[in-house]
Amino acid sequence: MSSETKSIPYLAVVLLLIWLGFVYQPGISMQSFIQELFVGIIVAVAVTILTHRHFEGLGVAYFHPRRVAYFIAFFFVFLWEMVKANLNMARIVLSPELPIKPGIVKVSTSLKQPAAKLFLGNAITLTPGTLTIDYDDGGAYIHWVEVKDEDMGRAGEIIKGRFERLLRGVFS
C-alpha cells in the first residue's frame, strides 16, 4: 500500500469536513445535523470514488501531525508574506512615477511532487509582485515586478523565501 493509496481516505475526510461547513447554519438542531452528517458521508465517499484517480501521482500524502504542523506554519508564513507584498504593491501603485522593473526570471526548485510544485506556484502567484507563468523540468518561470536579481539561485532565494522549506516538510 503506497502512501498515495493511503491518502485517499483523507480526501473523503476533508470533503466531509467541508460538507459540515456547508451545512452548518445558525441554530441548526442536533437531529438535522445527524441527518446532514449521514448524507455528508455518502456524498463525500461518492465524490472520492469519482475523483480519487486524479489524485494518484499527485503526491498528496497522508496526514501526519508533523505535516499538518508544517502546513499550518506554511499557511501563516504565506499569509504574512501576502500582506507584506500587498503593502509593497500598494506603494508601487500609488507612487506617481511607478517604480517598477519587470521581467521574467527562472527559479529552480528542488520539490518533486506535482502537488508541492502546485502549492509553491500558487503561493508565489498569490504574493503580489510575483506571478508563476510556467513550470518546466528545470524550474519555474516567474514574472517579477521588481527584478532584484537575474541569477537563478539568488532570485529563487528572494522569491521562494521560506515557502520551499516548509513545503518540503509538508510533502516529504
Partner 1 sequence: MIFMYIIMGILAISIFLGAYRLLKGPSASDRAVALDALTNITTALLVLIAYLSERFIYLDVALVYAILAFVGVIAIARYLEGGL
Partner 2 sequence: MIEDILHYIGMAFVFVGSLFFLLGTIGLIRMPDLYNRMQASTKTTTLGVLSFLVGVGLMELQWMIKLLIIALFVVLTAPVGASALARASYNAGIKLWEKSVVDKYKEREEK
Partner 3 sequence: MRRMAGIVLAALLFACIMYAFTFVKTYDYNSSDYYYTDPIEGGKVNETVTGHYIENTKNETGAINAVTAIVVEYRGFDTLGEVTVLFTASTGVSMLLYSLHQRRKRREANLILKEGSKIVLPFILLTGAYIFIHGHLTPGGGFPGGSVIASGFLLMMVAYPKYFLKESRVSITESVAGMIFVLIGMLGLVFASYFLENFLSLGDVGRLFSAGIIPIIYIAIGFKVGAELSGIMNNLKGVEE
* 109 φ, ψ (degrees, to nearest 5): -135, 145
d(CA 127, CA 78): 8
Taking residues 120 to 159 in sequence order and writing x for each that binds partner 2 by CB under 8 A, - otherwise, the string is: -xx--xxxxxxxxxx-x----x-x-x-x--x---------
Q: Decide: is 73 part of the binding site for partner 2 (CB under 8 A).
A: no
Count of residues that bind partner 3 according to CB under 8 A: 32
Tell me: does residue 24 bind partner 2 (CB under 8 A): yes
Give the CA distances from residue 30 to residues 26, 67, 91, in Å, rounded to whole numbers and listed in that order: 12, 33, 50
If the CB atoms of residues 134 and 151 are measured against partner 1, the closer one turns out to be 134
* Residue 168 engages partner 2 in binding (rule: CB under 8 A): no
**Minimal CA–CA distance to 55: which of 111, 106, 119, 9?**
9
Nearer to partner 2, 5 or 28 (CB): 28
